[in-house]
Structure 1
Amino acid sequence: MAAREIVPGVDQLKALTHPVRVRMLGILRVDGPATATTLATRLGINTGATSYHLRQLAQHGFIEDDESRGNARERWWKAAHQATVTGDGDVPDTPEGRETLDAYLQTVVTIYAQRLQEAIEERALLPKEWREAFGLNDRVVRLTPSQASQVEEQVNTLIDDLEDDPDGEAVMFQFHVFPLPGHLGADQER
């Protein structure tokens, strides 16, 4: 079983600033081991590009060979961790560290937006029970940074405590915590 999580350093994080790599890693984490050919088909890119990105992910410790599968002609890859965890406290507070973290976060947001768009496009095809469970909402609450961090921790703990149901479906939770853009400090100006 893959390790629970990885807290990448700056060099590792740089490897995840490419959207194809983030998508590949996500596929391997959710759907399990795959070959370059399988991933190329799913991502709509050629196998040469796929192999290059897989080597980059392996070089930086995000994926590894799945030696229990394959043969001399096909190489299977698997995720080395279940999650990537990073934030301001996990990278050096240097221009390079901040720039790399921002580039990674831009990539992640792009992937999240794509996933959300795909979910909306497939919503009409879902069974009624899943359409009713489908939720998009945003809530704005006035909090301190400490309170916001506490809420995020509680939500993550709640999700972490859920056990996979063998009869269930893969469900993605996108949960974001950030000051409402354009409002930070606005109350003091009034």
Structure 2
Amino acid sequence: MPSSITPDIAGLRALSHPVRLRMLTLLRGEGPATATTLAARLDLNTGATSYHLRQLAQHGFIEEDTARGNARDRWWRAAHQSTRTDFRDEGVVDSDVEAYLTTVAMLYADRMRAAVSEMAFLPQEWRRVGTLSDWERRLTPARADELVARLAGIIDGAEDSDAEDAVPFTLNLNAFPRPGQRWGE
């Protein structure tokens, strides 16, 4: 599976729907599934689920898993391990970017809340790893861009483990100018 996709503006619009982004997250994290399975997980009807799956497939985020199922059951799998965003393109419309990023932020917050609520039930060795930390640095745009690229490189370089005690470990990289600043004053 290719490691990442950088969607065009139409792809960003498709991912701006929370159900589609949740479906993609499930397919990446839990592996291939049918519309029926995803409908049950997301509390949707299969017709709506199938529609959203077709939208994801149309934009290259998922593909049919032809090695599974039969004529009655279509299986779907993620086509990439991650989604990258690059907003430097002149063709990107700000409202489309904002809609996509709002959906991503909402889903990240939901996932963090779920992780925090489950912390007390984790095995002891897993309670000591991970962080919900934040740092603030005064940076120029060039230094901020360099820092984000270096952090992404570290994450990209981390290889999956085949060890028996390895589990899926979520990493979100969020970097942005502190909200509420007054620009140009």
Give the TM-score taking structure 2 as reference length: 0.93
User: Aligned partners of 2:162, 2:45: CA distance in 1, in Å?
Assistant: 34
Q: What is the alpha-carbon distance in structure 1 between the residues aligned to residue 29 and residue 181 of structure 2?
A: 36
Find the aligned partners of 1:60 and 1:150 in 2 and give their Cα distance: 30
Q: Counterpart in 2 of 1:183?
A: 181
Identity of aligned residues (%): 50
Match of 1:138 in 2: 134
**Are the aligned partners of 2:6 and 2:86 in contact in 1 as well (CA < 8 Å)?**
no
Q: Distance in 2 between matches of 1:134 and 1:85?
A: 22
User: Number of residue pairs matched?
Assistant: 183
Match of 2:46 in 1: 47
Query: Which AA in structure 2 matches 1:80?
Result: A
C-alpha contact (below 8 Å) 2:35/2:53 kept by paired residues: yes
Letter in 2 for 1:100: D
d(CA) in 1 for partners of 2:173 and 2:150?
12
Q: Deviations over 1:109-135 (max 9, x none)?
A: 011001001101111110111111131
- Aligned 8 A contact 1:92 1:98 in 2: no
Alignment partner, residue 102 of structure 1: 98
- Structure 1 residues 91, 37: CA separation in 2 closer, same or farther (over 3 Å shift)? farther
Secondary structure of 1:165's counterpart equals coil
CA distance in 1, matches of 2:182, 2:80: 35
CA pair 184-128 structure 1, distance change in 2 beyond 3 A: farther
Correspondence 1:120 to 2:119: no
- What is the root-mean-square deviation in Å for CA atoms of aligned residues? 1.5
2:85 alignment partner in structure 1? 86
The Cα offsets for residues 3-42 of structure 1, whole Å up to 9 and x where unpaired, read as 2222211112111110010011111112211111111122
Q: Secondary structure at the match of 1:77?
A: strand
Shift of 1:183: 2.9
Shift in CA distance, 33/84, structure 1 to aligned 2, threshold 3 Å: same
Structure 1 runs of 4+ with >3 Å offset = none
Contact 2:35 2:49 (8 Å CA) reproduced: yes
| TM-score normalized with structure 1 length | 0.90
Give a deviation string over 1:129-188, Cα, whole Å, max 9, x none.
111113111111111111111111111111111111123111111221111112354xx8
Taking the TM superposition and a 5 Å limit, the aligned residue runs for 1:165-176 are 165-167=161-163, 168-176=166-174
Amino acid corresponding to residue 56 of structure 2 in structure 1: L
For 1:26, the equivalent position in structure 2 comes to: 25
- The question of whether the paired residues in 1 share the 8 Å contact of 2:56 and 2:62 is answered with yes
User: Unmatched 5+ residue regions in structure 2?
Assistant: none
